[in-house]
């Protein structure tokens, strides 16, 4: 029968041969703990809010928006004093899974839809309609600042009849606005940020700040829509 007793000599030998592994594993665990803490810990004060805008496209360059972010934040804070940050993200996803980029983009897309860390999703009609049909979008006309859109961007509002009941055989239909046509935001095209033609902006139900997010969307329309030629 083998001698399996732990002795000081055996522990000393084991440490001599295995200490690098233990040190490596400790560093990995500390690194993972740091990443997880960073992801789940909100460094903003409890009452402060963040509005995130996701451009869902094969490619979008959010870098040129850095110059406009302070203005959007200032306007947003005038509407909601607790707004602390406006941020942008490109999700490289076209709505299919035909290539490797779309495969990983689809995973990122699902993560951000569920997490609620991004509020406004700008994307094509197919994805917008899919989320609406899945009851994943906020009815914009139920939010306080919606009246701003009816005053100036009425033609951009997209209304849909949806079943708000639970019985598909006897649907309870209501008409609501779930998205805004952003084709007029041509300055995003001229800045090489995002191709807005045929794209729509919606607010995800997981958003913690839907009304403030809708106000930021209104200010983005104001900022990036070319004025009408008189």
More confident residue, 124 or 97: 124
Mean pLDDT of all residues in 143-150: 96
| CA–CA separation, 55 and 196 (whole Å) | 10
Mean pLDDT of all residues in 164-181: 84
Q: What is the pLDDT of residue 108?
A: 87
User: Please, which residues have CB within 8 angstroms of residue 104's CB and are 6 or more apart in sequence?
Assistant: 92
Cβ contact 209:49 at 8 Å? yes
| pLDDT(59) > 70 | yes
Q: What is the pLDDT of residue 9?
A: 60
Q: What is the pLDDT of residue 42?
A: 47
- Structural domains in the chain, CATH included, are 45-224 (3.40.190)
C-alpha distances (whole Å) from 109 to each of 34, 46, 95, 121 are 24, 26, 9, 10
Q: How confident is the model at residue 103 (pLDDT cuts 50, 70, 90)?
A: confident
Within 10 A of 91 (CB to CB), how many other CB atoms are there? 23
Cβ contact 213:219 at 8 Å? no
Q: What is the pLDDT of residue 79?
A: 97
Q: What is the pLDDT of residue 41?
A: 47
């Amino acid at each position: 029968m083998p001698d399996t007793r732990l002795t000081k000599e055996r522990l000393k030998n084991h440490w001599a041969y295995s200490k690098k592994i233990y040190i490596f594993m400790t560093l990995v665990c500390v690194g993972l703990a740091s990443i997880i803490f960073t992801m789940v810990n909100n460094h903003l004060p409890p009452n402060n809010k963040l509005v995130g805008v996701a451009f869902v496209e094969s490619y979008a360059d959010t870098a040129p928006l850095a110059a406009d972010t302070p203005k959007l934040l200032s306007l947003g804070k005038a509407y909601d004093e607790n707004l602390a940050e406006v941020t942008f993200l490109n999700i490289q996803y076209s709505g299919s899974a035909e290539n490797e980029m779309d495969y990983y983009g689809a995973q990122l897309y699902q993560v951000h839809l569920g997490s609620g860390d991004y509020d406004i999703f700008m994307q094509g009609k197919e994805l917008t309609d899919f989320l609406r049909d899945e009851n994943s979008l906020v009815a914009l006309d139920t939010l306080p600042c919606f009246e701003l859109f009816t005053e100036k961007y009425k033609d951009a509002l997209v209304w849909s009849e949806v079943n708000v009941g639970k019985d598909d055989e006897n649907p309870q239909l209501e008409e609501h606005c779930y998205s805004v046509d952003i084709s007029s935001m041509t300055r995003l095209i001229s800045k090489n940020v995002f191709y807005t033609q045929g794209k729509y902006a919606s607010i995800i139900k997981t958003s913690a700040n839907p009304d403030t997010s809708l106000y930021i969307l209104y200010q983005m329309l104001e900022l990036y829509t070319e004025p009408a030629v008189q």
